[in-house]
Amino acid sequence: MTAQIIDGKAFAQQLRHRIADHVERLKTEHGLTPGLAVVIVGEDPASQVYVNSKSKQTKEVGMNSFKYELPKDTGEAELLNLIDELNERDDVNGILVQLPVPDHIDADKIIKRISPAKDVDCFTPENVGRLAIGLPGPVSCTPLGSLMLLRDQLGKLEGMNAVIIGRSNLVGKPMSQLLLRDNCTVTVAHSRTKDLPGLCRTADIIVAAVGRPEMIKGDWIKPGATVIDVGINRVDAPEKGEGKTKLVGDVEYAEAAKVAGAITPVPGGVGPMTIACLLANTITTTCLANDLTPPSDLTA
Ligand SMILES: Nc1nc2c(c(=O)[nH]1)N[C@@H](CN(C=O)c1ccc(C(=O)N[C@@H](CCC(=O)O)C(=O)O)cc1)CN2
C-alpha cells in the first residue's frame, strides 16, 4: 500500500480563497475590514519567515496587516504596553505574538495580556476554556488546520481511535478537545506513556506533535491509518552537500507512507494550514466583535 499524500499547501490555498470571499463580504455588507497585528521580538530566522508569511497572506486576502518587529532586548513592560495599545484599537481584530519570545520575557504573562476577543492564537485561558466547552471563538491554529485536513480526508471522524503524541498547550491538548468534539476516542500519549509503538498500532488517526525528528516509526502505523505530522524539525542533510539542512516531521515519512492510508508531508502538510487558520480566526474574532455569526466553514 502507498499512502495518499495529504496536500496541506493546496488545501490552505483553497481555504485562503474562501477567506478572501468572506473578507469581501464583511467589507461590502458590513463596512468592516478585519485587521491582524503580528508582533515579533528578536531575529530568530524561522520566526521571521513565519511572521513575513503571515503578514503577506493577511494582505493577500484583503485584510489590514500591522507588523511590529521589536529588537531582541525589548523589555517585557514595553511589549505589554504595545499589547495594551493593540487591545484598544478598533482597527485591530487579531493580535499574535510570535513564539518563542526571548528568555527574559515571560510568554505566559504576554499571552494573558492579549484581549480574549483578539486572541487569534487561542492561547488565553478564556479561549482555551471556551474551546474545551464548545463555545464559539477562535480555535488553536495548528489543531484547527489538522482537523480540517482530517475531515476532508475521512469525512465523519465519529468512533475512530485517535492517538495524539504530545501534550503541549499549543497542539496536543487543543487537538484532543477537537477530536473529542468530533466523537473520536482520544488518547494523548507523552514521554511517560508505556508501549507507545503498541498504542500507535491501535490508532485509526495519529497526530504526531512531539518535536522529535522521525521519532514515530513506520512499523508503529496501523495499515490504512491516517497520519497527521505536525513536527517541523530542521536536521543536517549531508546528502545535499556540506552544511546543508532539510525539514523533517516527527514521523519516519518514507516508511510510514508504505503503510498508512493517508499522510501529511513535511514540508507542505500541516504547516501551511497553521497560517491559513490564523486568517480564519481573524474573521471569527471580527464577526464575534460585531455581533455577527462567524462563517461555519472557517471554524471547528
Ligand atoms: N504565536 C504563535 N507562534 C508560533 C506558532 C503559532 O501558531 N502561533 N506556531 C509555530 C510556527 N508557525 C507559526 O507561527 C508556523 C510554522 C510552520 C509553518 C509552515 O508553513 N511551515 C512550512 C515549512 C516552512 C519552512 O521552510 O521553514 C511547511 O510545513 O510546509 C507555518 C507557521 C511556532 N510559533
The residue count of the chain comes to: 300
CA nearest 139: which of 186, 187, 184, 171? 171
* Radius of gyration of the chain from its Cα atoms, rounded to whole angstroms: 19
pLDDT value at residue 213? 98
What's the grid cell of residue 195?
Answer: 508501549
136 preceded by a cis bond (ω within 30 of 0): no
Whether residue 123 lies inside any domain: the answer is no
161 and 91 in a common domain: no
pLDDT tens per residue across span 282-291: 999 999 999 9
167 and 96 in a common domain: no
For residue 213, report the distance from its CA to the centre of ligand 1, in Å.
16
- CA angle (25, 30, 31) in 5-degree steps: 100
For residue 23, report the distance from its CA to the centre of ligand 1, in Å.
23
99 and 157 in a common domain: no
The response to whether residue 248 sits with its C-beta less than 6 Å from ligand 1 reads no
CATH number of the domain bearing residue 107: 3.40.50.10860
| Residue nearest (by alpha carbon) to ligand 1 atom 5 | 99
The response to whether residue 141 sits with its C-beta less than 6 Å from ligand 1 reads yes
CATH number of the domain bearing residue 250: 3.40.50.720
Average pLDDT over residues 239-254: 97
Gap between the Cα atoms of 191 and 203, Å rounded: 18
Domain that includes residue 209, residue range: 141-271
Q: Is 18 annotated as a binding residue?
A: no
Whether residue 227 lies inside any domain: the answer is yes
105 and 42 in a common domain: yes
233 and 111 in a common domain: no
Residue 279: pLDDT over 80: yes
pLDDT tens per residue across span 2-35: 999 999 999 999 999 999 999 999 999 999 999 9
For residue 274, report the distance from its CA to the centre of ligand 1, in Å.
7
The response to whether residue 50 sits with its C-beta less than 6 Å from ligand 1 reads yes
Whether residue 12 lies inside any domain: the answer is no
Q: Is 201 annotated as a binding residue?
A: no
Whether residue 217 lies inside any domain: the answer is yes
pLDDT value at residue 37? 98
Residue 57: pLDDT over 90: yes
* Cβ-proximal residues to 135 (8 Å cutoff; 6+ apart), any chain: none
| DSSP bridge pairs for 247 | 234
DSSP 72-140: TT--HHHHHHHHHHHHH-TT--EEEEPSSPPTTS-HHHHHHHS-GGGBTT--SHHHHHHHHHT-SS---
Gap between the Cα atoms of 271 and 269, Å rounded: 6
Q: Which atom of ligand 1 is nearest to the CA of 268?
A: 30
Q: Which atom of ligand 1 is nearest to the CA of 141?
A: 7
Whether residue 295 lies inside any domain: the answer is no
Gap between the Cα atoms of 227 and 206, Å rounded: 5
How many CB atoms are closer than 10 A to CB 13? 12
Residue 202: pLDDT over 80: yes
pLDDT above 90 covers a percentage of the chain that reads 100
For residue 165, report the distance from its CA to the centre of ligand 1, in Å.
18
Residue 93: pLDDT over 90: yes
157 and 97 in a common domain: no
Residue 1: pLDDT over 80: no
pLDDT value at residue 176? 98
For residue 271, report the distance from its CA to the centre of ligand 1, in Å.
6
146 and 106 in a common domain: no
| Residue nearest (by alpha carbon) to ligand 1 atom 14 | 50
* Cβ-proximal residues to 222 (8 Å cutoff; 6+ apart), any chain: 200, 201, 202, 203, 204, 259
243 and 156 in a common domain: yes
Name the band, by pLDDT with cuts 50, 70 and 90, for residue 185: very high
265 and 145 in a common domain: yes
The response to whether residue 37 sits with its C-beta less than 6 Å from ligand 1 reads no
The response to whether residue 211 sits with its C-beta less than 6 Å from ligand 1 reads no
Name the band, by pLDDT with cuts 50, 70 and 90, for residue 300: very high
Whether residue 177 lies inside any domain: the answer is yes
**Residue 98 annotated among the catalytic residues of the structure:** yes
Residue 232: pLDDT over 90: yes
Q: Please state, rounded to an integer, the average pLDDT across all residues of the chain.
A: 98
Whether residue 6 lies inside any domain: the answer is no
Gap between the Cα atoms of 228 and 222, Å rounded: 13
151 and 71 in a common domain: no
Whether residue 296 lies inside any domain: the answer is no
Only one residue has cell 545535499, namely 240
Q: Structurally, how many domains does the chain consist of?
A: 2
234 and 168 in a common domain: yes
**Residue 291 annotated among the catalytic residues of the structure:** no
Name the band, by pLDDT with cuts 50, 70 and 90, for residue 189: very high
Average pLDDT over residues 292-296: 98
Q: Is 94 annotated as a binding residue?
A: no
* Domain termination residue (choose one: 69, 97, 115): 115
pLDDT value at residue 29? 98
60 and 179 in a common domain: no
pLDDT tens per residue across span 127-184: 999 999 999 999 999 999 999 999 999 999 999 999 999 999 999 999 999 999 999 9
pLDDT above 70 covers a percentage of the chain that reads 100
ipTM over 0.95: yes
Q: Is 166 annotated as a binding residue?
A: yes
DSSP label of 296: G
